[in-house]
């Protein structure tokens, strides 16, 4: 595998994680346009731990993600008061605040960036991807998953049924920022070099875009969206300079023609039934 292909596949894995991190928050009908900020916290924390303190990669990743998810809790609590557009703006402001913080924070290099984290491999990245996919797959079939669905579809009904809506919303933020933190750590240790500009609001909105265009009814939508829309710009390389224009136009068109995303819940269910039938006929 060439270095180029490997790079594309690795970034695709990180994008899948990021898309799942936004999906986790969307799961409770909240939204975040600041996940690049959580990613930055995970990236800088884990990189500082491995480079400056010599801590092995895995614990550093987890600590980075825990720090990021702690900040996620702090953002998630005031976010409970905000809905819709206000939450969009708050998370957007949060992301930019984190970015400008790292731009000026000298212990992690400030404006000149932070050099030296290494050790992410394709295997490691995809181990986390598979791990989180299994996690969401299990969550989907669990009682907890059902209650998240209820909170998203109708918080009032959910709370009359005895579900703690606030608790669900806060933990969704915790989970989302944890996954984004892991993605950030993996990213830093794959790129060997990070700078605050890597984590801007364009990235945050692109992650949201993966989920919306992939389909936000199931976590498979986030995964498929991240895969398709991280590969698409590479496929479009044959049109050279105009590639980003074309990419932008495709995204706008996709949003118009498939507003509920590529993967819908019905599609997953139908596919599942087909699989079941296939296995049944194979057995008989």
- List residues near other proteins by CB under 8 A: 31, 33, 78, 81-86, 88-90, 92-94, 96-97, 100-101, 103-104, 111, 200-202, 205-206, 208-209, 212-213, 216, 241-245, 247-249, 251-252, 255-256, 259-260
- Taking the least distance from each CB to other proteins, the nearer of 19 and 49 is 19
The residues, any chain, with a CB within 8 Å of residue 195's CB and separated by 6 or more, are 109, 111, 112, 113, 114
- The DSSP-derived string for 178-241 is HHHHHHHHHHHHHHSEE-GGGG-HHHHHHHHHHHHHH-SSSHHHHHHHHHHHHHHHHHGGGGGG
Name the minimum Å distance from CB 54 to other proteins.
30
Name the minimum Å distance from CB 274 to other proteins.
28
- Taking the least distance from each CB to other proteins, the nearer of 3 and 106 is 106
Closest CA to 212 of 37, 11, 12, 31: 31
Tokens of 211: 């989920």
Name the minimum Å distance from CB 177 to other proteins.
16
- Taking the least distance from each CB to other proteins, the nearer of 156 and 280 is 156
- Taking the least distance from each CB to other proteins, the nearer of 86 and 279 is 86
Question: Locate tokens 């987890």: which residue?
Answer: 62
Name the minimum Å distance from CB 64 to other proteins.
21
- Taking the least distance from each CB to other proteins, the nearer of 3 and 85 is 85
Name the minimum Å distance from CB 200 to other proteins.
8
Q: Are 134 and 9 in contact (CB under 8 A)?
A: no
The residues, any chain, with a CB within 8 Å of residue 237's CB and separated by 6 or more, are 243
């Amino acid at each position: 595998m060439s270095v180029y292909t490997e790079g594309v596949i690795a970034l695709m894995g990180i994008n899948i994680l990021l898309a799942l991190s936004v999906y986790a928050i969307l799961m409770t009908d909240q939204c975040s346009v600041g996940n690049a900020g959580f990613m930055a916290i995970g990236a800088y924390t884990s990189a500082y731990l491995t480079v400056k303190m010599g801590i092995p990669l895995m614990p550093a990743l987890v600590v980075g993600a825990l720090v990021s998810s702690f900040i996620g809790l702090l953002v998630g609590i005031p976010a409970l008061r905000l809905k819709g557009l206000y939450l969009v703006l708050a998370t957007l402001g949060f992301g930019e605040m984190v970015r400008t913080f790292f731009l000026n924070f000298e212990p992690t290099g400030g404006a000149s960036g932070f050099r030296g984290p290494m050790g992410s491999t394709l295997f490691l990245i995809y181990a986390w991807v598979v791990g989180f996919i299994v996690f969401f797959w299990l969550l989907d079939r669990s009682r907890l998953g059902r209650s998240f669905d209820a909170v998203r579809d109708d918080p009032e009904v959910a709370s009359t049924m005895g579900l703690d809506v606030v608790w669900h919303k806060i933990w969704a933020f915790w989970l989302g920022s944890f996954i984004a933190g892991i993605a950030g750590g993996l990213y830093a240790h794959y790129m060997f070099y990070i700078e605050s500009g890597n984590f801007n609001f364009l990235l945050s909105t692109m992650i949201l875009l993966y989920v919306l265009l992939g389909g936000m009814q199931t976590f498979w939508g986030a995964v498929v969206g991240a895969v398709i829309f991280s590969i698409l710009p590479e496929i479009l390389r044959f049109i050279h300079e105009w590639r980003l224009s074309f990419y932008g136009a495709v995204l706008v068109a996709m949003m118009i023609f498939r507003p509920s995303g590529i993967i819908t819940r019905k599609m997953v269910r139908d596919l599942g039934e087909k699989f079941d039938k296939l296995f049944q006929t194979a057995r008989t």
